[in-house]
Structure 1
Amino acid sequence: MKGQSMNVVQHLEELRKSIIVTLGIFLLFFLLAFIYVQDIYHLLVKDLPFKLALLGPSDILMVYLMIASVVALAATMPVAALQIWRYISPGLTVKERKVTLAYVPALFVLFMVGISFGYFILFPLVLNFLMSLSNELFTTFFTTEKYFKFLLNMTLPFGFLFELPVVIMFLTSLGIINPFVLQKIRKYAYFVLILTSVLITPPDFLSDILVIIPLLLLYEGSITLSKFVYRRQQKNLFLD
């Protein structure tokens, strides 16, 4: 009983260390991003066909904090994934450690692909659609804070959604899920993904389709990758 209690304490201590390291790295990247935040800001707004307005002296600070936070989050992603791997690796075999370690850089790559999809494809489409609704009936007036909040809502969620294949492969490697479960819950997963796409896009058919199709393809790709990992596991078990 005493040994079991010590084991729990050690796990909690390792978890605390992992959280501290991740937060420390996030703060470091946040400070670095904040130093260069004006350059990042000008890079993001240089091609805008309109000027952004400020309603108060604190608005630009809030925008700078948002930009620095997103940059720091993206940069910290590999570190956070590595800390998660280090925390659970003692319970894995040597072979499982090598396989799951390969998922760490993949998480960062897919996060950036999701962000890029939102920024370069979805965001311009949605923004142009919303601006077209006004025609010449209204004067277009964008505040800096609202513009960047809208930008984050159109990009950041896709950074996490595009990590679905790697997360599915990782969980399959650990034996938590398998492709048969994913196939069984396919219709429920489709419903959630379609609902998500409808909620984050404007109410027009084209925008919905442009978001729904990649999300459904991600889920189907996740099932295929899960099958690949599951079959390798079964083959290794047979050989052992």
Structure 2
Amino acid sequence: MPLDQIPEEKEMSFLDHLEELRWHIIRSLIAIVVFAIAAFVAKDFVIGTVILGPSRTDFWTYQKLCELADLIGTPALCIDTLSFELVSRKMSSQFMTHVSVSFFAGLIVGFPYLFWEIWRFIKPGLKSRERKASRGATFSVTVLFMLGVLFGYFLIAPISVRFFSTYQVDPSLQNLFDLSSYISTVTMIVFGCGVLFQLPVIVYFLTRAGIVSSSLMKAYRKHAIIVILVLGAVFTPPDPFSQILIAMPLMLLYQMSIVIAKRIERREAKQNQDQ
């Protein structure tokens, strides 16, 4: 009988737990490798269209920003030029870039399945009340991760590319970005935003563990807003609209986390009163 089908009442040894964890990890890695191979085969779309998209002025985000700039009369918002060139300086650079991009694509697409496998390993150790309270965890993590990936790809990545391509310490210096440097920046931004959008889920579990509270998050809300605004000012063109465009989703995530923490505290207080 597979280990993940062992009845819950049967106590498992430490080695049995390790064996079960090993199979969860193996299945997750197989899924990631399968998606990575598919991405490797679809090179023209994954690299030529998706990854290199933010390096071209016809990218969807740049076009929409220019349309918005015309609409509200803010020319600085329009990104119609990108002052840099991509170069490949090492013999194996393009091949290794192809491999690394395929791996990240497999990791991003396979992340929901990876979390589901981890959750299957953790779930049997939870109490019935904890299982009920965490119902829908895989769906929530998947939705938030995909929203974060889209936010990073269509907003943070192109604005960051624009910022670094126009930043100069001296006018005599020309921006020639190495291909691996550009791709590592874009992929890490996209994946990092996907992880960042897990903040409500992380706060949910930390609140249930008694590590974080809504009052603590409210006390540091002003500090969090300042940090978010500073980050928005650093990575956007010199106009307040772009700064707000970046900051608003992050502020919304933080506020959502406070609401989640408060609801959990109320629910636990009501359960303690009933007992």
Question: What TM-score does the superposition give when structure 2 sets the normalisation length?
Answer: 0.68
Equivalent pair of 2:214/2:261 in contact (CA under 8 Å): no
- CA gap of 1:229–1:51, structure 2 versus 1, over 3 A, is same
Alignment partner of 1:93 is 2:127: yes
The residue aligned with 2:65 is: none
Equivalent pair of 1:85/1:101 in contact (CA under 8 Å): no
The residue aligned with 1:67 is: 101
2:198 to 163, 179, 185: 163
Counterpart AA for 1:132: T
Equivalent pair of 1:18/1:84 in contact (CA under 8 Å): yes
Question: What's the CA shift string for 1:5-31, capped at 9, x where partnerless?
Answer: 963333323222222222222222222
Segments of 5+ residues of structure 1 without an aligned counterpart are none
Offset of residue 163 of structure 1: 0.8
Correspondence 1:137-152 to 2 at 5 A:
137-152=172-187
What CA RMSD, in Å, does the superposition of the two structures yield over aligned residues? Answer: 3.7
Offset of residue 96 of structure 1: 3.2
Alignment partner of 1:48 is 2:56: yes
2:155 to 121, 144, 155: 121
CA distance in 1, matches of 2:226, 2:126: 32
The residue aligned with 2:78 is: none
- CA gap of 1:230–1:13, structure 2 versus 1, over 3 A, is farther
Question: What's the CA shift string for 1:189-225, capped at 9, x where partnerless?
Answer: 8399659948x84897867765555434422321211
Q: Secondary structure at the match of 2:167?
A: helix
Q: Secondary structure at the match of 1:156?
A: helix
Equivalent pair of 1:193/1:216 in contact (CA under 8 Å): no
- CA gap of 1:177–1:14, structure 2 versus 1, over 3 A, is farther
Segments of 5+ residues of structure 2 without an aligned counterpart are 1-10, 58-83
CA distance in 1, matches of 2:128, 2:117: 17
Counterpart AA for 2:217: Q
CA distance in 1, matches of 2:227, 2:23: 35
Instruction: Give 4+ residue runs of structure 1 displaced > 6 Å after superposition.
Output: 202-205
Question: What's the CA shift string for 1:163-187, capped at 9, x where partnerless?
Answer: 11022224445x3545247438737
Offset of residue 89 of structure 1: 1.5
Aligned residues: 235
The residue aligned with 1:23 is: 29
- Higher helix fraction (1 or 2): 1
- CA gap of 1:27–1:195, structure 2 versus 1, over 3 A, is farther
CA distance in 2, matches of 1:51, 1:205: 26
CA distance in 2, matches of 1:29, 1:189: 40
